[in-house]
Amino acid sequence: MNNKIKKILSKKNKTKIICLTSYSKNISEILDKYSDIILVGDSLGSVLYSYNTTKNVTLNMMIEHSKSVRQGVKKSLMVVDMPYNSYNSKSEALKNAKKIIKYSKADAVKLEGGKKILSIIKHLRKNKINVMGHLGILPQSQIGKFRFKGKTTFERKRLLNDALLLQGSGVFSIVLECIETKLAKEITKNLKIPTIGIGSSVNCDGQVLVTDDLVGLNLTPIKFVKKFYDIRKHFEIAIKKFSKEVKNKTYPSRKFSY
Ligand code: KIV
């Protein structure tokens, strides 16, 4: 087993796991100091390309961004989302996962879903591909409005069962997206592998957020997102200064000219 994965597994019940998204080298360099896992999420579709669904994200987009991210990652475990329509069958999933790993040197891939994709995950694991699971809100299969998961007894049983099935299929960790607090606790308690929550309470073994959201780049409010900083403000200060100096001809001065 990959040493970085062993390290993630060893954190269960000891210390919280930090996971953040990145789509490029510069951001990865910053995150790498503080993260255990860097995720090249297909959220890049909405964050960078303003798509209203991650279904429009292609395998090539994921590969190109992952290649950039790879250059900034030294110590963290790097996970890449397999995009929509890239794992419809066992052979397609294996071919595409291998392609992602070959070009990006990622440590693992992430797939959305439970029981339905179990045979695909097992096939990837049989072929030595490290896999992270993803349950709860599944943006790639979302129709209509997002709402938290675990409202009905049926849904709660299904999610717990899916989590156990995923664990049995060999995933090393599971992202729990927008799962009700007590259910997130129950799932986390029943698993040997760590859960990484997003909008799923403090009860998970780790937390993930879209980096653009936590630094205040995204202006759309999301219930579970805390804005830890307002990077827009600081960006604006620099841009304003540049604009002013160009207009009053103090930039570029002699020092910045050939
Ligand atoms: O696509 C993504 O960034 C994700 C995280 C939000 C978990 O899947």
| Ligand 1 near 40 CB (within 6 A) | no
Give the span between the Cα atoms of 210 and 112, in whole angstroms.
17
| Ligand 1 near 21 CB (within 6 A) | yes
| Ligand 1 near 41 CB (within 6 A) | yes
Total count of domains within the chain: 2
* pLDDT at 1 > cutoff 90: no
**Same domain (yes/no): 31, 128:** yes
| Confidence band for 77, pLDDT divided at 50, 70 and 90 | very high
**Same domain (yes/no): 246, 140:** no
**Same domain (yes/no): 138, 73:** yes
**Same domain (yes/no): 39, 93:** yes
Give the span between the Cα atoms of 199 and 176, in whole angstroms.
8
**Same domain (yes/no): 128, 251:** no
CATH number of the domain within which 20 lies: 3.20.20.60
**Same domain (yes/no): 110, 140:** yes
**Same domain (yes/no): 196, 148:** yes
pLDDT in tens, 52-66: 999 999 999 999 999
**Same domain (yes/no): 207, 192:** yes
Mapping DSSP onto H, E and C, the string for the chain reads CCHHHHHHHHCCCCCCEEEEECCCHHHHHHHHCCCCEEEECCCHHHHCCCCCCHHHCCHHHHHHHHHHHHCCCCCCEEEEECCCCCCCCHHHHHHHHHHHHHHHCCCEEECCECHHHHHHHHHHHHCCCCEEEEEECCHHHCCCCCCCECCCHHHHHHHHHHHHHHHHHCCCEEEEECECHHHHHHHHHHCCCCEEEECCCCCCCEEEECHHHHCCCCCCCCCCCCCCCCHHHHHHHHHHHHHHHHHCCCCCCHHHCC
Residue 205 CB coordination number (10 Å): 23
Q: Please indicate, yes or no, whether the overall pTM of this predicted structure exceeds 0.85.
A: yes
Which protein residue's CA is at the shortest distance from atom 4 of ligand 1?
A: 41
- Residue 187's domain comprises 3-227
Q: Which of 29, 64, 92, 177 is catalytic?
A: 177
* pLDDT at 144 > cutoff 90: no
**Same domain (yes/no): 258, 188:** no
Q: What is the mean pLDDT of the chain?
A: 97
**Same domain (yes/no): 70, 22:** yes
**Same domain (yes/no): 258, 149:** no
**Same domain (yes/no): 240, 144:** no
